[in-house]
Amino acid sequence: MRRFAADRAKKLVLSFQRSLYSQPPFSSCAAAAMSSNPLPVTVDTINAEVLKCEYAVRGEIVTHAQRLQQELQAKPGSHPFDEILYCNFGNPQSLGQQPITFFREVLALCDHPSLLDRDETHALFSSDSIERAWQILDQIPDRATGAYSHCQGVKGLRDSIAAGIAARDGFHANADDLFLTDGASPAVHMMMQLLLRSEKDGILCPIPQYPLYSASITLHGGTLVPYYLNEATGWGLEISEVKKQLEAAQSKGIAVWALVVINPGNPTGQVLTEDNQREIVDFCKKEGLVLLADEVYQENVYVDNKKFNSFKKISRSMGYGEEDIALVSFQSISKGYHGECGKRGGCMEVCGFSADVREQIYKIATVNACSNISGQILAGLVMNPPKAGDESFESYSAERDGILSSLARRAKTLEDTFKSLEGVSCNKAEGAMYLFPRIDLPQKAIEAAAAVKTAPDAFYALRLLDATGIVVVPGSGFGQVPGTWHIRCTILPPEDKIPAIVTRLTAFHESFMAEFRE
Ligand code: DCS
């Protein structure tokens, strides 16, 4: 804590120095060149929305953790722990999760097609990966994986993703409705860019929410209209609450264009029931809201009594077609059992927009040229993995099931641990990759946090980090009911590290409570 206070002090000095050196806004670079400051851009001249936007998942606590890691490397034994355990970021392969062999085989062959002509390749690669690589290369003009593709993504890959979506949902999917993107994040930005004109335009977002949404809405100059998930009912999404917040925003003159639903939820881990999804679809239809369905965790469901259903499937099964409801589904290769975050692949399915609006979405995609081809190939593969009878099917299934069942065990152990702590209640991770326990912090801890001008949950997270090396994100980074405090902890650390996390977390919490108990 002392170290952190010192860092804050250093930052204050830096920003004071910055303010000493910063110049009034320049009218031109030439003016800058003539002034004593050779750098024309200052924080006072850049886009104010950039300054306003926040992304806690990689915020101040993570920077502090990185500093501790460097200190540990430079001077082993300098902290009461020997490694930093990153439970802040949904980045599975950074924590040792292995990629799915079949996917990487196909990718390697596509990236270096001359391997396909060599005899040794048949000894090193599965026959279905070789066959799949040929199929994919045949879909790419000139087999040029280093060339720009169609701005929505390679048509053949979109055809196969559309077939995968149709098989998942039991309803037709159209390759022309698909936009392949560098992960789901750019797709979310694209929609915000399309929908938001000024702060008078609003988007309904769950609270707590994944801060991509708040950040993107801020960057695009719109207004986030919050609706609170009900923690008491396992982070239930209640239409009465959404309606209340919609009406409150409208009464302030805000035109609300869309409702964001994250299912399975981040950071809240709940999986929506089919009935609830139907209510949401009806609500959007009735209120004329675009349903922005974040479905990146569709493969991450850990409980037998819940199942992922896409909003597209729900709306089509209710008899609603293109003309009834505007619906955008975001998918990603970063999540699921594959966790290919660094390959940056995603897919946005866009339904229910008029032809002229579609043209504008297309135009935004053209400005972005195209998403990277490896990400596109992986997006095609995750929607069409090996099937029974394929050579890789058994090893693929074993890898997939091994990862998912391990995630389920890790989620349960961490959930039980949080629940066993004094003053802590914890949601069930029905899906996604996070626990979001609520911590009833003692008044003395809240006061101690205020004394160092830190939010109480950030204070707890920093103390946890300094004592144990465990990195979590304070709930304030996701939004929470005022006066409640949470932390978000991923379920991703390797299974053999979970017992150490449990022991360290429990010991820390006990001593924290003992220190601040009234
Ligand atoms: N939507 C949700 C709900 C997410 O959790 C994430 C990433 C994304 C979209 C964007 O992912 P990609 O751009 O990689 O497809 N989750 C972040 C998180 O909460 N921790 O780490 C990443």
66 and 121 share one domain:
no
In this prediction, residues 209-231 reach a mean pLDDT of 96
- pLDDT of 21 over the 90 cut: no
Q: Please say whether the dihedral angle defined by the alpha carbons of residues 45, 50, 54 and 58, taken in this order, is positive or negative.
A: negative
430 and 501 share one domain:
yes
Query: Which of 210, 434, 472 for mutating ligand 1's site (highest number of atoms within 8 Å of CB)?
Result: 210
72 and 168 share one domain:
no
Q: pLDDT for 432-458, tens place per residue? A: 999 999 999 999 999 999 999 999 999
What does the alpha-carbon distance between residue 122 and residue 446 come to, in Å, rounded to a whole number?
A: 63
Tokens in use for 450?
């205020």
Instruction: Please list, in sequence order, all residues whose beta carbon lies within 8 angstroms of the beta carbon of residue 308, skipping any fewer than 6 positions away.
Output: 263, 264, 271, 295, 297, 298, 299, 301, 431
- pLDDT of 230 over the 90 cut: yes
Q: pLDDT for 320-340, tens place per residue? A: 999 999 999 999 999 999 999
Token pair 């109480």 in the structure block, residue: 456
Is position 201 within any domain? yes
Does the beta carbon of 183 lie inside 6 Å of ligand 1? yes
Residue-level pLDDT at 36: 63
pTM reported for the whole predicted model: 0.91
221 and 343 share one domain:
yes
Is position 282 within any domain? yes
Q: How many Å lie between the centroid of ligand 1 and the Cα of residue 211?
A: 9
Q: How many Å lie between the centroid of ligand 1 and the Cα of residue 185?
A: 7
Does the beta carbon of 212 lie inside 6 Å of ligand 1? yes
What does the alpha-carbon distance between residue 362 and residue 206 come to, in Å, rounded to a whole number?
A: 28
CATH code of the domain containing 320: 3.40.640.10
138 and 68 share one domain:
no
Count of structural domains, the chain: 4
351 and 336 share one domain:
yes
443 and 487 share one domain:
yes
Nearest C-alpha to atom 22 of ligand 1 is from which residue? 90
185 and 140 share one domain:
no
Is position 43 within any domain? no
62 and 84 share one domain:
yes
CA-atom Rg of the chain in angstroms = 24
360 and 274 share one domain:
yes
Structural domain boundaries, residue 59: 51-96+400-516
In this prediction, residues 37-60 reach a mean pLDDT of 84
Is position 390 within any domain? no
Is position 388 within any domain? no
120 and 7 share one domain:
no
Is position 461 within any domain? yes
Cis peptide before 385 (omega within 30 of 0): no
Instruction: Please list, in sequence order, all residues whose beta carbon lies within 8 angstroms of the beta carbon of residue 405, skipping any fewer than 6 positions away.
Output: none
Is position 32 within any domain? yes
Q: Higher model confidence: residue 295 or residue 10?
A: 295
Is position 177 within any domain? yes
Instruction: Please list, in sequence order, all residues whose beta carbon lies within 8 angstroms of the beta carbon of residue 385, skipping any fewer than 6 positions away.
Output: 100, 102, 103, 396, 400
Q: pLDDT for 137-156, tens place per residue? A: 999 998 999 999 999 999 99
Looking at 110, 127, 147, which one is the last position of a domain? 147
Does the beta carbon of 193 lie inside 6 Å of ligand 1? no
